[in-house]
Structure 1
Amino acid sequence: MFKLRYKWYRLTHWEFWPMWAVYLPCIFYYFWISLKSRSFGFFKAVNPAIVHGGMTLEDKHFVNQLLPQRYRAKSFLVTSGTTHDAVENIIKENELNYPVILKPNNGCRGRNVELIRTREKGKRYLRDYGNEDLLLEEYIDFPNEIGVFYIRFPHEKKGFISGIVEKKGIMVTGDGRQTLKELVKYNLRYHAFYSEIFLDGQHNGNYIPNENEQLLVSSIGNHARGATFYDASDKISSKLTELFNEICSSVKGFHYGRFDVKFNTWEELENGENFKIIELNGAASEPTFIYDPGHSYFFAIKEIMKHWDYMYTIAKLNKQRGHHFTNIEECWKILKEFNPFLTS
C-alpha cells in the first residue's frame, strides 16, 4: 500500500519529475530565441568569463577562483588519481578540519557530493570516485543555505536579484513510536533517500525520537539529494541586492547565474557578515525557487522561459560588444555531455 501511495505522490508532485519532463515545453522557446539570435550557442556570450558561459559542466575550481577569497569557502582542486595521503596534506597545510566536502569538479544536481566526517570516509570516497578531478571544500557550518539568482545587463552598472531559494535538508519529526529508519523510510518525500542516509552508519537508525523531536539526517542542500526548496524571494531587499552588486563588481565577465550561499542570519547577510559562497553557477543555472512545493508546474515553466529571455538579451548585448557565440560543433559536444533528456 505504501509503495502505491509513494508512486502516486511522485507522479502528482511535478518537482520530482525527470528533468526532461520538466524542460520539454521549454525546448520550443529555446529554439525560438536561438532563431532570433541566429545561433543555438548564444549562451557563450552570457558570461564571457566562464567557458561556454557556464552552460556546460564548468570547471568549478576555475569558477571559484573568479570570486575574491573573502566571499567564498576555501576550496582546492584534487586531480584524478590523487592519493588519500596527498589529500590529507592539503587539509593539514590549509588548516582545514573535518568535516570537509568532496565533490566532482565537473558535476551538477548533487552528483557524488559528500560530507566527509572522517579520514576513513575520505579514503572510501577517493577509492569510489577518485578517477575524476574533485573539489575539496571547507565545510561551512552556518545554519542557513540559499541560492541567489543574480542578473546584470552589460550596459548597466548594477544588477538585480530575480529570486531566492531557501534550502532545507532532510529533517524528520519523531512521534515517540517509530524508529529513525521508519520515519525516513515511510516518509513520502524522503523514502527515495532511505538507503543512502543510513549507508555510512552516521545515524542510529534504531533510535526512537521523542514526540515532536526534530532530527536533521542530511544537510546537503540539493533537491536531487532530498532537500526541500522554498521560494524565499520575499527576502530580496535593497541591502541584499547591493551586497551582490558589490560581489559581482569584482567578477569581470559575469552577468547571469546563481550563487549558493551559507549564512548565519538574514540580518547579518544583508550587512555582509557571517556568510560564505559555496558555489557559483553560470548559464546552466536553474531558478531553483521554482521547486517550492507550493508552486505549480506552469509557474515553473514561465520562470524558466523568463530567465532564458534574460539570458538571450544579455548574450545579444555582449555580442554587440565583440563577444562570440558557441559554434554548432561545440554545441553538439555540449549536448552530448549535458543532455537533460538523458537525465532522470
Structure 2
Amino acid sequence: MRDQVDRDIDGLSPYEFLSPWIIYGPLVIVWILLGLRYRDFAVATLANPHIPAGGLCGESKGDILDQVGRDARAWIAPWHVFTSGNGSDIRAREAMDRLGLTFPVVVKPDIGCKGAGVRRLDGPESLRETLGLYPDNVAVMIQHFIPHVGEAGIFYSRIPGEATGRILSMTFKTSPSVVGDGLSTLRELVLAHPRTGRVPHVYLPRLAAQLDHVPEAGRRIPLVFTGNHSKGSAFRDASHLVTPELTRRIDAILRSMPDFHHGRVDLRFASVAALREGHGFQIIEINGIGSEPIHMWAPGTALADIYRIQFRFYGRAFRIGDLMRRRGHRSSGAFHMLRLWRRQSALIASYPPGH
C-alpha cells in the first residue's frame, strides 16, 4: 500500500514552486480569450450553477456538502459548520457529540483554499487554542479525521445531457516525511531530505517549534498534514488506476447534487485496491471549477504540459457553462467573481496558519 501511494515521493518538479505569475499568468490570458469567445467572462461558473461562482472562489465547503443527496452522504466524512468567537470551543464540542466524533478531528475555515487554516487537532486544549486564533464571526468547519493513509484528488467532469460523467484525472497526495536517526535535529533531517532540502522555506516555518529537537532513531515524522501543493505535499499522477467501478461510484455521488458538472473530489482511502473497486474511502471536500487538476504537479511534468492541462480543464468548464447558459442559467458576471475573490483573500489573511 505505502509503495503504491508514496512512489516518487522524493521527486521535485523544477516548476512546483515557481512564481504564481509564471504558472497562472498564461491561464489569465486564456481565460480572457475564452470570455471574449463566449461573450461572458463568468460563463464558466455556470458549470456548477448552484454553487457561488461555480466554486471558483468564495464558496462555502459546508454548503457544497449539504447539496449531496441523503443516500450519498455516507461517503462523506461527518462535518459541522459553526461560528468562531466567544464559546466556539463549546459549540465545537457540542457538534462533536451530535456527530459522534472523538479526537483527533480536523478544523478548517468554511471558506478558504490552498490548505489555509487546516489543522488536525488531538485534544480539547488544541481545539480551544486553535479556535482562539480565528477572528470573531468566521464560519469554521469541524470534521471527522479519516485515519486512512492514502489521499487522492479525483477530477470529475460531465457534459450536460451525458448519462455518465468522466474522471479526467486522479492524483495521489502524500506528505513528505523524515526518519529520525537519534543524532540529527529535525532541521538537519529536513535539509538533508532530497525533496524538502531543495525547498526548505516551504517546510521549516511550519515546524519552527520542533526544529531543534532530535527525533529518536526510526521515528517517522510527517512534515505536512494538509494534502495541498502549496503546503508541500507531494503529488503523483494515478490516472492510469481509474476503473469503471470507481467512475460509477464517484458519478453516483456527484449526480446526487443539483447540476454539478465540473470539479474535484478530495478523499482518503484505505487501499488502492479498494479505491479501484469503488469503496473503502471517505470524501473530505467537493470543490468546483476553481480546483486545480493537481496531476499537473507530478514530478516530471513539463512546464508546457502544465499550461496545456490548465487550458484543457478550464476550457472544458467554459464549454459546460455555455451549455448550461443555453438551458436558461445566467452568470452573476465578472465583477461578482472579483468581489468573492477579494472577500476570500481577506478571510484567508485572517486565518491561523495551516499544518
Q: Distance in 2 between matches of 1:136 and 1:204?
A: 32
1:111 counterpart residue number? 116
Q: Which residue of 1 aligns with 2:327?
A: 321
- The change in CA–CA distance for 1:89 and 1:185 in structure 2 (over 3 A counts) is farther
The answer on whether the counterparts of 1:197 and 1:218 sit within 8 Å (CA) in structure 2 is: no
Whether the aligned pair in 2 keeps the contact of 1:180 and 1:209 (CA below 8 Å) is no
1:135–1:204 CA distance, 2 compared to 1 (3 A)? farther
Q: SS of the counterpart of 1:178?
A: coil
1:269 aligns with 2:275: yes
The equivalent residue for 1:37 is 38
- Structure 1: state its 5+ residue gaps: 1-10
User: Which residue in the other structure is 1:81 paired with?
Assistant: 85
Aligned positions, number = 327
- CA distance in 2: counterparts of 1:94 and 1:176, whole angstroms: 41
- The corresponding residue for 1:94 is 99
Question: 1:273-323 CA deviation, whole Å, 9 max, x = no partner?
Answer: 221010010011110110112211111110000001110110111111111
TM-align CA RMSD: 2.3
**Separation in 1, partners of 2:205, 2:335:** 41
Does structure 2 retain, via aligned residues, the 8 Å contact 1:64–1:279? yes
Q: Are 1:336 and 2:346 an aligned pair?
A: no
Deviates more, 1:231-240 or 1:304-313: 231-240
Once the 2 structures are TM-superposed, how far is the Cα of residue 198 of structure 1 from its aligned partner? 5.0
* 1:118 to partner: Cα distance: 1.4
Q: Is the 8 A contact 1:43 1:326 kept in 2?
A: no
Moved more, 253-262 or 236-245: 236-245
Matches within 5 A, 1:107-186: 107-131=112-136, 132-174=138-180, 177-186=183-192
Q: Deviations over 1:217-265 (max 9, x none)?
A: 4332111222111111111222221111221221121000000010101
Which residue in 2 is equivalent to 1:3?
Answer: none
Asked if residue 194 in structure 1 is aligned to residue 204 in structure 2, the reply is: yes
Cα deviation 1:13-72 (Å, max 9, x = unaligned): 221123232100122211111011101111231101211211122111101112232110
Are 2:230 and 1:229 equivalent residues in the alignment? no
The structure 2 residue matched to 1:218, chosen from 218, 221, 224, is: 224
**Which TM-score applies when normalising by structure 2?**
0.85
Task: Name the amino acid aligned to 1:188.
Answer: R
Query: Contact 2:177–2:221 at 8 Å: present in 1 too?
Result: yes
Look up the match of 2:54: 53
Which secondary structure state, in structure 1, belongs to the residue aligned with residue 204 of structure 2? helix
* Overall identity of the aligned pairs, in %: 27
Residue 158 of structure 1 aligns with an amino acid whose one-letter code is T
Partner of residue 213 from structure 2, selected from 163, 180, 205: 205
Counterpart contact for 1:158–1:245, Cα < 8 Å: yes
Among candidates 283, 289, 300, match of residue 283 of structure 1: 289
Gaps of 5+ in 2: 1-11, 350-355
Amino acid corresponding to residue 217 of structure 2 in structure 1 = P
Provide the rounded CA distance (Å) in 2 between the counterparts of 1:85 and 1:16: 39
Match of 2:278, SS state, is: coil
Distance of 2:302 and 2:334 partners within structure 1: 34
> SS of 1:165's equivalent?
strand
Single out whichever of 122-131 and 79-88 deviates more from structure 2.
79-88
* Cα distance between partner residues in 1 of 2:337 and 2:208: 40
Query: Residues 241 and 276 of structure 2 are in contact (CA less than 8 Å); yes or no, is this contact kept in structure 1?
Result: no
C-alpha displacement at 1:181, in angstroms?
3.3
Structure-2 separation of matches of 1:293 and 1:141: 26
Runs of 4+ in structure 1 off by over 6 angstroms are none
Alpha-carbon distance in structure 2 between the residues aligned to 1:249 and 1:93: 28
Counterpart-to-counterpart distance in 1, 2:180 and 2:303:
32
CA contact (8 A) 1:178 1:209 kept: no
TM-score of the two chains, using structure 1 as the length reference: 0.88
Aligned to 1:18: 19
Structure 2 distance, partners of 1:27, 1:262, is 32
- What secondary structure is seen at the aligned counterpart in 1 of 2:306? helix
